[in-house]
Structure 1
Amino acid sequence: MKKIKYIVAAGVLWFTISCQNEKLTSPSITGLWKLESMKVRDTTTNTWSHYRGGMDGYLLYDNNNHVALHLYNKGYENAGVEFPNFTDSISLEALKHITKSYYYMGNYKVSEADSIVSHYKLSHSNPSEFGLTAERRFYFVGDTLIMQPVERKNSRLKLKWLKVK
């Protein structure tokens, strides 16, 4: 019986030492993410529905604190609308289609204590948003990144992102 106690004690000691040598890691926000869903909460009924009938998009965080976001209506790329880049001769239909795409690039900073990521927008598809900051509360459920805007005008949104492997 004494021998078994020593074996168990040695096993517990070995397990404790080996766990101390391993770093405990939490999921990282860094990487390329594909939009799984973007939903909006109805404040009257407290129900969630797909924003604008469904959205697609990508979110990229690199190791140098750069962020790039592109959101667009589902099927955006299959609309059959073609137009030249960097010209002022574009059809009204094409101009309307472009408004279904939202993108920006910038720098980001993560506040682990608050679980908030701040996006400092260097460029934007909407000129009035150049230089602005967007804050997103975030958390992970398995390999899914969940984000909710902090600013009041978008606080009813919830975005779910899956890491692209």
Structure 2
Amino acid sequence: MKTIQPLILIILTSLFFSCNNKSNSENINQFAGLWSLYQMQFYNPQTKEWSEFKNAEIGFSDGLKGSILYDNANHMSVHLVPKAYEKTDLKFPIIIDSLSIEALKHHATSYSYFANYTIDKEKKIIAHKRISHSNPHMWSETVLRKYSFLGDTLILQPIEKELAGTRLLWIKVTNANE
């Protein structure tokens, strides 16, 4: 009987810790890693379909490309540009005040920000508390994104009114959890 008691103690201790600790899959931060933009899409309520964002008037005739990076310390960054952004003959001098109007227009199509993030797993919402932004008026704002995962794809949908009906599909490039 004395040999059974230590065995029961070991089993009960194991059960206690397994119940009180999250499973490995819950502890893994699914966001952590580098993601590449597959496509930015807009929803058309008339056709009830999603279509890729393209707008030649503002320099996005081929759509967008970019990266989003989440680390395990709740920091993130995102950078979006037109697909052919780096394929330009424009020269960018080191001193910004000497940029041509064409170069300024080209540079203005680059969108980026850095933020701290928090995840609400129940509501499936990730909040980005911006630290800095390529648009000075968007510094320190908190933006909310509905999120879902489909295999190696992260789908983010902005909640703010101005971007309602938008979703960004990101493909996992590297995993920060490994």
Shorter chain as denominator, the TM-score bin is 0.7 to 0.9
The alignment's TM-score, normalised by the length of structure 1, stands at 0.81
Which residue of the partner structure matches residue 9 of structure 2?
A: none
Aligned to 2:96, the other structure's residue is in SS state coil
RMSD of Structure 2 on Structure 1 (CA): 2.0
Counterparts of 1:113 and 1:106, CA distance in 2: 21
Which deviates further from its counterpart, 37-46 or 131-140? 37-46
Between the two proteins, what is the percent identity of the paired residues?
39
Are 2:139 and 1:130 equivalent residues in the alignment? yes
Are 2:125 and 1:116 equivalent residues in the alignment? yes
Counterparts of 2:36 and 2:133, CA distance in 1: 19
Query: Which consecutive unaligned segments of at least 5 residues does structure 2 have?
Result: 1-14, 55-61
Are 2:105 and 1:96 equivalent residues in the alignment? yes
- The 1:86/1:119 distance shift into structure 2, 3 A limit, reads farther
The one of 38, 41, 51 aligned to 2:40: 38
**Length, aligned pairs only:** 147
Aligned to 1:76, the other structure's residue is in SS state coil
Whichever residue aligns with residue 80 of structure 2, its letter is L
Which residue of the partner structure matches residue 14 of structure 1?
A: none
Deviations 1:60-98 (A, max 9, x none): 011111110001111111122221244211101011101
The alignment's TM-score, normalised by the length of structure 2, stands at 0.76
Query: Which consecutive unaligned segments of at least 5 residues does structure 1 have?
Result: 1-16
- The 1:74/1:131 distance shift into structure 2, 3 A limit, reads same
Aligned to 2:23, the other structure's residue is in SS state coil
Q: Deviation of residue 28 (structure 1)?
A: 0.5
